[in-house]
Amino acid sequence: MSTVLQKVYASAPINDLPIHTLELQANSLWKLRICEGFDDVTVGIEGGEMVTFLASGMGVSLPARGVKGRQDLQFQIDNVTGEALTKVKQAIDAGIPIKVIYRVYTASNLTEPAEPAVEMKAVDVQATALSLNVVASFNDLVNKAWPKNRYTPSIAPGLKYFS
């Protein structure tokens, strides 16, 4: 079953382009919503709420689909006003993790994302006066220890008798 976004990519209609959006959140401290392009866009997010994403010069490098352990989303925001830089530095200084939500819409349907939203955590942030570069990553499920709880002599004292 093909999605609307797959049809747009395959047929490349002139009047129906994908609109890439990013939402950066630092708990309840702040939210920054930006979209690729020259015009602000009001779209629907999960739960039916309509929100506005501010237009920005933005480049997104999506992670490859595969079974690799760590999947990274890289993006750069041209920091013309300095707002993104100020907010990200504020979160880093406070030690608050930055959550990144990537959504893609089609110009013909702005009421909901064309694909499910992708939530990641910012793992590397590099800021200059001109731009903000962020690398966000999924949880690395492939390289996680299983079972999660490790049985050590401090938890299970009888283990110290086994060698």
- Owner of token pair 């955590």: 121
- pTM of the full predicted structure? 0.73
Name the amino acid, one letter, at 43. Answer: V
pLDDT of residue 161: 82
Under a CB-based contact definition with an 8 Å cutoff, are residues 120 and 102 in contact? yes
Q: CA–CA separation, 59 vs 44, rounded Å?
A: 22
pLDDT of residue 50: 93
Q: CA–CA separation, 76 vs 134, rounded Å?
A: 6
Here the tokens at position 73 are 């989303």
Task: Kindly give the pairing relationship between strand 50-56 and strand 30-36.
Answer: parallel
- Owner of token pair 């994908």: 18
pLDDT of residue 51: 93
CA dihedral over 116, 62, 124, 38, signed as positive or negative: negative
Q: CA–CA separation, 149 vs 85, rounded Å?
A: 39
Domains and CATH numbers, the chain: 4-161 (2.30.110)
Q: Name the most confidently modeled range: 85-89, 133-137, 144-148.
A: 133-137
Here the tokens at position 8 are 């747009």
Q: CA–CA separation, 22 vs 48, rounded Å?
A: 17
Render pLDDT for 21-65 as a digit per residue (tens, 0 to 9). Answer: 988 888 877 888 888 888 899 999 988 889 999 888 887 777 666
- Owner of token pair 């002599």: 153
